[in-house]
Amino acid sequence: MSLLQVRDLGKNFGGVRALDGVSFDLPEGQLLALLGPNGAGKSTCFNILNGQYRPDAGSVHFDGREISNARRSMKPRDVWRLGVGRTFQVSATFSSMTVIENVQMALVSRKRKLFSLWRPAAGMYRDEAMELLAQVGMAAQAQRPCGVLAYGDVKRVELAIALANRPRLLLMDEPTAGMAPGERNELMALTRELVVARKLAVLFTEHSMDVVFAFADRMIVLARGRIIAQGDGETIRNHPQVQEVYLGSGTTFGQEAQ
Ligand SMILES: Nc1ncnc2c1ncn2[C@@H]1O[C@H](COP(=O)(O)OP(=O)(O)OP(=O)(O)O)[C@@H](O)[C@H]1O
């Protein structure tokens, strides 16, 4: 059974059908890209998967457990505790704190210590934090304040923070937004390594088609809330409806939009 099972998801906002009959599976060890033009329903889907929104129809099962349906859904914090992590476009790090302190704080939070205990507990989980930083290639910069890091390095720290909760599914909202092409590839190569080493499942949105075709195992394309295509790069690249949807959006498949 797949780690994540999404069935017939529907969500309306007033008269807008943001999601309509969306179904897909995501097994562990896979990177799945959720694509689509602006307003296609990607964020709505993420917000249902992490418990922020309740769907109007359909269900979400994670690790065999129903976490959401039209009658009730788990709270975001409970979904997070079950092992669904999320990274955001906006930085989740505290710039005045050091790299290691940011990760230690995430570990404190996972272990349910009270936030107010944080200051006296500054030495806590040091080894674990260093281990996570080593995994994302940031051990050498552990003592630097996050505020002085290069953008690509901040993204690595965010990954370490997300991993501190030991997620089994990671939702990544445009992980490479604002990055130079070289940095994008490094971050996604690292993500792929983590997917394999930790048997993670990753669902990500991404505007860079170069990144998607280079790193995603599979892709889903949404348009106006419905899945219009899914499959590997070859299938998506040659799909007439996908080409139609993206026509005029400035994005061409196989060639980076400038
Ligand atoms: N909280 C909300 N209230 C009202 N309408 C919403 C809300 N969230 C999303 N929508 C609408 O639902 C549709 C899908 O939006 P969504 O943000 O999920 O798309 P998206 O694919 O993530 O777009 P983008 O790439 O621009 O982030 C849009 O028409 C949007 O205006």
Q: Is 252 a member of any domain?
A: yes
Q: Evaluate whether residue 67 is within a structural domain.
A: no
Residue after which a domain boundary falls, among 118, 134, 166? 166
**Atom 26 in ligand 1: residue holding the nearest Cα:** 38
- How do strand 226-231 and strand 218-223 relate by DSSP bridges? antiparallel
Q: What is the pLDDT of residue 207?
A: 86
- DSSP string across 21-41: EEEEEE-TT-EEEEE-STTSS
78 and 198 housed in the same domain: yes
Query: Same domain for 195 and 79?
Result: yes
pLDDT at 251: 54
Question: Do 97 and 131 share a domain, yes or no?
Answer: yes
Among the three residues 109, 138, 166, which one is the final residue of a domain in this structure? 166
Looking at the fold, whether 196 and 256 belong to one and the same domain comes out as: yes
Residue 83 scores a pLDDT above 90: yes
Distance from Cα 131 to the centre of ligand 1, integer Å:
38
Of 42, 90, 207, 212, the residue with max ligand 1 atoms within 8 A of its CB, to mutate for a pocket test, comes to: 42
The residue among 91 and 20 whose pLDDT is bigger is 20
Q: In this structure, are 174 and 157 located in the same domain?
A: no
pLDDT tens-digit series, residues 237-257: 889 888 888 755 545 454 443
Provide the number of structural domains found in the chain.
Answer: 2
Q: Is the dihedral of CA 83, 89, 94, 100 positive or negative?
A: positive
Cα 235 to ligand 1 centroid, rounded to whole Å: 26
| 128 domain residue, yes or no | yes
Tokens of 258: 């400038």
Does pLDDT of 127 surpass 70?
Answer: yes
Q: Is residue 43 part of a domain?
A: yes
pLDDT at 219 over 80: yes
Domain with 213 in it: what CATH number?
Answer: 3.40.50.300
Does the residue 234 lie in any domain? yes
Asked if 215 and 137 sit in the same domain, the reply is no
Q: What pTM does this model have?
A: 0.89
In a domain, 243, yes or no: yes
ipTM over 0.90: yes
Same domain? 171 vs 242: yes
Ligand 1 atom nearest the C-alpha of 207 is: 25
Strand-pair category, 201-205 with 31-35: parallel
Ligand 1 mutation target, pool 9, 11, 12, 13, most atoms within 8 A of CB = 13
Residues 162 and 47 in one domain: no
Return d(Cα 170, Cα 160) in angstroms, integer. Answer: 12
The strand order across the sheet containing 57-62 reads 16-26, 4-13, 57-62, 65-69
Above 80 in pLDDT, residue 116? no
Per-residue pLDDT, averaged over 215-226, amounts to: 95
Centre of ligand 1 to C-alpha 211, Å, is 23
Pick the last residue of a domain from 150, 166, 182.
Answer: 166
In whole numbers, what is the pLDDT of the chain averaged over residues?
A: 89
Whether 63 is covered by a domain: the verdict is no
Residue with the smallest CA separation from ligand 1 atom 8 is 44
CA of 20 to the centre of ligand 1 (A): 13
Q: How far apart, in whole angstroms, are the C-alpha atoms of residue 219 and residue 240? A: 15
Average pLDDT, integer, range 15-28 = 97
What tens digit of pLDDT does each residue of 135-192 get? Answer: 999 999 999 999 999 888 998 999 999 999 999 999 999 999 888 888 899 999 999 9
User: Ligand 1 centre from 50 Cα, in Å?
Assistant: 16
Whether 156 and 205 map to the same domain: the answer is no
Alpha carbon nearest to ligand 1 atom 17, residue? 43
> Using CA positions, which residue lies closest to atom 6 of ligand 1?
13
Give the Cα separation of 70 and 11 in Å (integer).
Answer: 9
* Residue nearest (by alpha carbon) to ligand 1 atom 3: 13
Give the 3-state secondary structure of residue 26.
Answer: strand
What band does 122 get if pLDDT is binned at 50, 70 and 90?
Answer: low
Q: Are residues 226 and 257 in the same domain?
A: yes
Give the angle subtended at the CA of 28 by the CAs of 177 and 238, to the nearest 5°: 60
State the distance from the centre of ligand 1 to the C-alpha of 135, rounded, in angstroms: 34
Per-residue pLDDT reduced to its tens digit, 48-67: 999 999 999 999 999 999 99
Pocket of ligand 1 from Cβ distances under 6 Å: 13, 16, 18, 36, 38-44
Instruction: Say which amino acid occupies 129.
Output: A
Give the closest residue (by CA) to ligand 1 atom 25: 38
Are 77 and 122 members of one domain?
Answer: no
Confidence of residue 112 (pLDDT cuts 50, 70, 90): low
Same domain, 175 and 143: no
Evaluate whether residue 16 is within a structural domain: no
pLDDT above 50 (res 221): yes
pLDDT at 249: 53
Domain ranges, residue 41: 25-53+73-83+167-258
Sole residue written with tokens 């890091």? 149
